[in-house]
Amino acid sequence: MTRSVWKNNSWLRKLARHRRHLSAGPVSMEHGLYPIQFFRERLIQERRRAERSQRPLLVMVLDAERLALVEGEEHVTDTLGDGVHTVLRGTDICGVLKEGALVGVILTEIEPEKVEAAKRIVTHKTRESLASLLSADLANRVVISFRVYPGPGGGDIDMTFYPELIDRRWSGGELVKRSIDILGSIVGLILFSPLMTLLPVLIKIGSKGPVFFTQERIGRNGRKFKMLKFRSMYLDNDDVIHREYVKQLIKGENCGADGIFKIRSDPRVTPVGRYLRKYSLDELPQFFNVLKGDMSLVGPRPPIRYEVEHYQGWQRNRLMGKKPGITGLWQITGRSSTSFEEMVRLDLRYLHGWSIRLDLKIILRTPAAMLKAKGAY
């Protein structure tokens, strides 16, 4: 029944194919849709455009994988291509997101205040178009959803917008980096074992509470993990002070006369904790995070969830592709004496120019930076 309905609407298929061939250019289109690799390239391009313009990027996703099991993947994908091309604008970009009847449509130039209206209109028109090619019942089996970049605040990152990181295999350099992480964290735990024995005693003497402090942080590609530190604060603290500080920091509103971005004389920090923070000794337990694989010796600083809530789209890129690190370019170039935007740019510079040589250079410069304690409070 489905195939006969589809054939009886051949004039719609011809019209859709004619429009596709007019706009296809030099790229070969499969099922009337751009192939996966080209569509991913366009998606990356539009994501970067959205970062520059600070306007939302809207992508419609049509998931017909359940229907493909019955009707055949090629047939269903072809029908999806015909359906979306009869209702979308010439500037919209349609392509295969994933083999198995998963189609994506990049809806370009949508005004922020019109995103919700665009979702409703496009969904309604697409349903009608698919119903004319299949049937109302079968068309309803196609799941239509929308992805918005940069999306809601928080650490949840939609990897749809980062196709270059999907199914990415480890390179030889990354295997070497992981080997250095394992070896370096073991050596670090051995070298700092006297301090890691003494510091818990001082922490217990200085204030009541556990020796260690765990906190949820946002790691590579938005993955959450529990970061381990020596406790440097009193118990039962309200994080309102830090939340407000972070908000102002990202907006560039809490820079003092000396250019320092940091909470000074934080009442939440214990006397022992001040020294731990000044010389980064509170971070020694993170060697265990490195061994576990949540962190690396070198990488961007792992943010707290409520920090990421205030990120702009381009600032989220500091979380992509590499694990967060115990040390990094920011830590060896002044830490809190730099602005938040400068910190993000340092992280992006590291990610774009990453190499084993750069990691080793940062590791070698870290002890001197710790002793100088520049920008540490």
DSSP codes, 217-258 = EE-GGG-EEEEEEE--B-SS--THHHHHHHHHHHHT----TT
What percentage of the chain carries pLDDT values higher than 70?
A: 83
Calculate the alpha carbon distances from 231 to 214, 215, 283, 302 in Å.
9, 11, 10, 17
SS3 content of the chain, % helix, strand, coil (to 5): 55, 15, 35
Q: Is residue 210 part of a domain?
A: yes
Torsion angle of the four alpha carbons 228, 232, 234, 240, in this order, in degrees rounded to the nearest 10: -80
Angstrom distance (rounded) from CA 256 to CA 168: 43
Q: Is residue 96 part of a domain?
A: yes
User: What DSSP designation does 209 have?
Assistant: S
Question: What is the predicted pLDDT for the residue at 66?
Answer: 73
Question: What is the predicted pLDDT for the residue at 23?
Answer: 46
The pair of three-digit structure tokens given for residue 366, joined into one six-digit string: 């870290």
Mean local confidence (pLDDT), 276-288: 94
Is residue 92 scored above 60 in pLDDT? yes
Angstrom distance (rounded) from CA 127 to CA 136: 8
Q: Is residue 261 part of a domain?
A: yes
The answer on 183 and 119 residing in a single domain is no
Residue with tokens 């961007």: 300
User: Is there a contact between 223 and 156 (Cβ–Cβ < 8 Å)?
Assistant: no
Q: Is residue 365 part of a domain?
A: yes
Q: What confidence category does residue 5 fall into, taking pLDDT thresholds of 50, 70 and 90?
A: very low
Whole domain around residue 342: which residue ranges?
172-372
Q: Is residue 154 part of a domain?
A: no
- Domain boundary among the residues 149, 182, 205 is at 149
Q: Is residue 182 part of a domain?
A: yes
Residue with tokens 């670090």: 188
The answer on 85 and 224 residing in a single domain is no
Question: What is the predicted pLDDT for the residue at 21?
Answer: 44
Q: What is the pTM of this model?
A: 0.81
The answer on 231 and 362 residing in a single domain is yes
Q: Indicate if the alpha-carbon torsion angle 24, 26, 27, 29 is positive or negative.
A: positive
Domain count for the chain, please give it: 2
Q: What is the CA radius of gyration of the chain?
A: 26
User: Is there a contact between 82 and 95 (Cβ–Cβ < 8 Å)?
Assistant: no
Angstrom distance (rounded) from CA 61 to CA 144: 6
The answer on 289 and 218 residing in a single domain is yes
The answer on 274 and 141 residing in a single domain is no
Here the CATH number for the domain that contains residue 140 is 3.30.70
Question: What is the predicted pLDDT for the residue at 255?
Answer: 55
Question: What is the predicted pLDDT for the residue at 19?
Answer: 45
Question: What is the predicted pLDDT for the residue at 41?
Answer: 93
Is residue 86 scored above 90 in pLDDT? no
Q: Is residue 166 part of a domain?
A: no
Mean local confidence (pLDDT), 190-213: 94
Q: Is residue 260 part of a domain?
A: yes
pLDDT digits (tens, 9 = 90+) for 10-34: 444 444 444 444 444 445 455 568 8
User: What DSSP designation does 152 have?
Assistant: S
The answer on 53 and 100 residing in a single domain is yes
Mean local confidence (pLDDT), 38-61: 92
Mean local confidence (pLDDT), 207-224: 94
Q: What confidence category does residue 180 fall into, taking pLDDT thresholds of 50, 70 and 90?
A: very high
Question: Would strands 296-298 and 325-327 be described as parallel, antiparallel, or unpaired?
Answer: parallel
Query: How many residues are present in the chain?
Result: 377
Question: What is the predicted pLDDT for the residue at 71?
Answer: 64
Residue with tokens 């370096």: 184
The answer on 199 and 142 residing in a single domain is no
Calculate the alpha carbon distances from 20 to 33, 34, 93, 258 in Å.
8, 10, 10, 59
Number of neighbouring beta carbons within 10 Å of residue 216: 13
Is residue 91 scored above 90 in pLDDT? no
pLDDT digits (tens, 9 = 90+) for 316-348: 999 999 999 999 998 888 666 678 888 999 999
Look at 74 and 183; give whichever has higher pLDDT: 183
Question: What is the predicted pLDDT for the residue at 154?
Answer: 63
Mean pLDDT check: name the lowest of 146-155, 270-279, 310-319, 346-355.
146-155
Amino acid identity for residue 162 in this structure: Y
Angstrom distance (rounded) from CA 375 to CA 222: 27
The answer on 338 and 259 residing in a single domain is yes
Mean per-residue pLDDT of the chain = 83
Mean local confidence (pLDDT), 283-297: 97
Mean local confidence (pLDDT), 158-182: 89
Angstrom distance (rounded) from CA 103 to CA 92: 13
Question: What is the predicted pLDDT for the residue at 258?
Answer: 43
The answer on 108 and 60 residing in a single domain is yes
Cα–Cα nearest to 41, from 21, 60, 27: 27
Question: Would strands 212-218 and 143-149 be described as parallel, antiparallel, or unpaired?
Answer: unpaired
Question: What is the predicted pLDDT for the residue at 340?
Answer: 87
- With b meaning 16 or more CB within 10 Å and e meaning fewer, what string describes 127-165? bebbbbbbeeebbebbebebebbbbeeebebeebbbbee
The answer on 95 and 229 residing in a single domain is no
The answer on 195 and 142 residing in a single domain is no
User: Is there a contact between 83 and 154 (Cβ–Cβ < 8 Å)?
Assistant: no
The answer on 195 and 107 residing in a single domain is no
Is residue 300 scored above 60 in pLDDT? yes
Q: What confidence category does residue 222 fall into, taking pLDDT thresholds of 50, 70 and 90?
A: very high
